[in-house]
Chain A
Amino acid sequence: MRQFLVAAVIACLAAAASAAEPVAERTAICLSCHGESGRSETPEVPSLGGQPASFLLIQLYQFREKQRIAEPMNSLTAEFTDDDLREVSDFLATLPPPTPAEPAEPARMEAGKELAAKHRCGFCHNPDLSGHDQIPRIGAQREDYLVKALSEYKSGARAGYDPAMVEVAQGIGDGELADLAYYLARFR
């Protein structure tokens, strides 16, 4: 699956890097993995619906500069100009927020809710987990992606832009991570 995706991405690289194309055509390749409706159906690939433009811009910048490593994103953005980064992030920010995962088992939801309170997710991500400015929407994000992202912050593999998430994730216990991701993915 991954090999196929990378091949598909490389085939479209030239098209993606061409600034002359309308943004909707240029971003078709984004949506082929991240989901046209803002909800990703691809394992470990995040939903981008409802994400703040500032957050998206920072991620795209970090991919281009290889400060965040996640192929094929580094290849896709390698030739982007600053204006390309802005245009694509502004466009992606118009996608509608994803719908939460189902079903939501009450006991695990309760455990996850307590963990979200303990680790103060809502302090920065907003009480409704919708995100703002440089801070992403985490409510209704893909569960497997949340596990991946939190694990990478916790290990330091993903440094983040601001140090905030590494600071927080180092305090999340190994046993807590799954329940937290379960809850966030089903948050409504």
Chain B
Amino acid sequence: MVLRIRGAGLIAGFAMAAALPVMAQQPAPPAGGPAAAPAPVDRGSALYGRPESEGAAKLAPVAPPPIPTPADKLPLAKLKAPQGFRVEVYAAGVTNAREMRLGDKGTVFVGARLTDKVHAITDENGARKVRVIASGLHRPNGVAFHNGSLYIAELSKISKIDNIEANLEHPPKPTLVSDSFPKDEAHGWKFIAIGPDEKLYVPIGAPGNINNPPETHAQIRRMNLDGSGMEVVARGVRNTVGFDWHPVSKELYFTDNGRDWVSEDVPEDELNRITASGKKHFGFPFCHQGNMTDPEFGWGHSCDDYEPPISLMGPHSASLGMRFYTGGMFPAEYKNAIFVARHGSWNRTKKVGGDIMVVKLNEDGSVKSKEPFLTGFLEDNKYVGRPVDVQVMKDGSMLVSDDFNGAVYRISYGG
């Protein structure tokens, strides 16, 4: 397989200069030649790349139980936030709670990766009601909300339900927006968001742990809300499960999960930023964490040719959902800071993650500091919960989803 970078389809500002050395090293194959075949299929799994060693043999992905934890059994007492913050259970019984979005009328929509349902949480006089609003879906991890419509991202398609908040009791079936996506299970589930440009942003992960992906994969695309005008925004993105736009600069920031099985300690997950002047290729599979060429695919490449991350988020930590804090409740130091949910590692003997990190930025959008904000999901190297996403509420409080327990927590300050 060779890397082919197309100029067409990339947003304005694509740094062709950065891509040219890569193209020079690896000329495109003749049309219809054997090199156009997809990557070897036995690399399409999380197992590819694992060394034959005793320590490695003990590690495998962690699956949560399918049944949500009852409210009174949730690990609330173990969760620790900075002084002055309060953590409470917002809703239990939200099976495999993943990406969250807030509707105009205050409904919280929650996707799922391991079950077929999308949930809606409403506040009814202080008590939360949890409803299933769509089912029979295939890995409906992603949800977005815009002008009254709920967008749902399944493994390989986006659909929507218009006027959803007026129809929570009897929602109609979702209608198709686009299914022009690869069908791979590996990294095929999606986080989605609608940008300040009113376009729907959709990632397509690398089909496996480490491979040289076809040009249809390892990227972030955007499209019009009717599915038309699909174009590539960023390449070399292994698997992003969280992104948001800076409230002032409107630049897109995204997390990216690094490859597994190189070592316990590298590469780290990334926090990235797309700037007008920056490169639009973020390195995968040639360069990881901005300074480490891949032991296999990195030969013949230099990390100088790819956009480096603005922060490293920990090895195998599974940095997933993220939002800029735009609320008015938290102290001023958190204004426009990024909250990142780290789901927690599986590909590491001593687990890392299982927390919410807060990344504070400088005026120029670079990283000023990074520190744990909500901890306690990891206890004695075992998960008692696993945070997936954060959502800022209208009152300035922040929700945290936990797919391990099927729950949503609320963090508030003062009061």
- Is A171 touching B45 in the complex (CB atoms < 8 A)? yes
What's the minimum C-beta distance from B96 to chain A, rounded to whole angstroms?
A: 10
Neighbour of B63 across the interface among A66, A118, A120, A161, CB < 8 A: A161
- Is A171 touching B138 in the complex (CB atoms < 8 A)? no
- Is B188 touching A118 in the complex (CB atoms < 8 A)? no
Neighbour of B47 across the interface among A58, A124, A156, A163, CB < 8 A: A124
In chain A, positions 128-153 with a C-beta closer than 8 Å to chain B are 133-135
A61 to B57, CA, bound (A): 28
Most buried by B among A62, A120, A127, A171: A171
In chain B, positions 24-76 with a C-beta closer than 8 Å to chain A are 40-47, 50, 57, 60-61, 63, 65-67
What's the minimum C-beta distance from A138 to chain B, rounded to whole angstroms?
A: 14
- Is A167 touching B186 in the complex (CB atoms < 8 A)? yes
- Is A118 touching B42 in the complex (CB atoms < 8 A)? yes
Q: Which chain A positions have C-beta within 8 A of B139?
A: 159, 163
> Can you list, as one digit per residue, whether each of B111-124 has a CB less than 8 Å from chain A (1) or not (0)?
00011100000000
- Is B185 touching A67 in the complex (CB atoms < 8 A)? no
Neighbour of B44 across the interface among A135, A159, A167, CB < 8 A: A167
Q: How many pairs of A and B residues are in contact by the CB < 8 Å rule?
A: 72
- Is B67 touching A163 in the complex (CB atoms < 8 A)? no
Cβ-closest chain B residue relative to A123: B47
Whether A54 is near chain B, meaning CB under 8 Å from some CB there, is yes
Q: Are A67 and B116 CB-contacts (below 8 A) given A120-B47, A162-B63?
A: yes
Q: Are A171 and B44 CB-contacts (below 8 A) given A86-B67, A163-B185?
A: yes
A65 to B66, CA, bound (A): 11
Whether A119 is near chain B, meaning CB under 8 Å from some CB there, is yes
Cβ-closest chain B residue relative to A166: B185
Q: Which chain A positions have C-beta within 8 A of B136?
A: 66
**A interface residues, how many (CB within 8 angstroms):** 31
Q: Which chain B positions have C-beta within 8 A of A168?
A: 45, 47
**B interface residues, how many (CB within 8 angstroms):** 29
Q: Are A120 and B115 CB-contacts (below 8 A) given A57-B67, A58-B63, A159-B138?
A: no
> Can you list, as one digit per residue, whether each of B352-391 has a CB less than 8 Å from chain A (1) or not (0)?
0000000000000000000000000000000000000000
Q: Which chain A positions have C-beta within 8 A of B41?
A: 170-171
What's the minimum C-beta distance from A171 to chain B, rounded to whole angstroms?
A: 4
Cβ-closest chain B residue relative to A82: B67
Whether B208 is near chain A, meaning CB under 8 Å from some CB there, is yes
A166 to B136, CA, bound (A): 18
Q: Which chain A positions have C-beta within 8 A of B65?
A: 54, 57-58
Whether A8 is near chain B, meaning CB under 8 Å from some CB there, is no
- Is A134 touching B63 in the complex (CB atoms < 8 A)? yes
Neighbour of B115 across the interface among A65, A85, A134, CB < 8 A: A65
- Is B188 touching A163 in the complex (CB atoms < 8 A)? yes
In chain B, positions 192-210 with a C-beta closer than 8 Å to chain A are 208
> Can you list, as one digit per residue, whether each of A105-130 has a CB less than 8 Å from chain B (1) or not (0)?
00000000000001110011001000
Q: Which chain A positions have C-beta within 8 A of B114?
A: 161-162
Task: Report which B residues bind A (CB closer than 8 A).
Answer: 40-47, 50, 57, 60-61, 63, 65-67, 114-116, 136, 138-139, 183-186, 188-189, 208
Please name 11 pairs of A and B residues whose Cβ atoms are closer than 8 Å in the assembled complex, sorted by A: A123-B47, A133-B63, A159-B139, A162-B114, A164-B45, A166-B185, A167-B185, A167-B208, A168-B45, A168-B47, A171-B45
Task: Report which A residues bind B (CB closer than 8 A).
Answer: 54, 57-58, 61-62, 65-67, 82, 85-86, 118-120, 123-124, 127, 133-135, 156, 159, 161-164, 166-168, 170-171
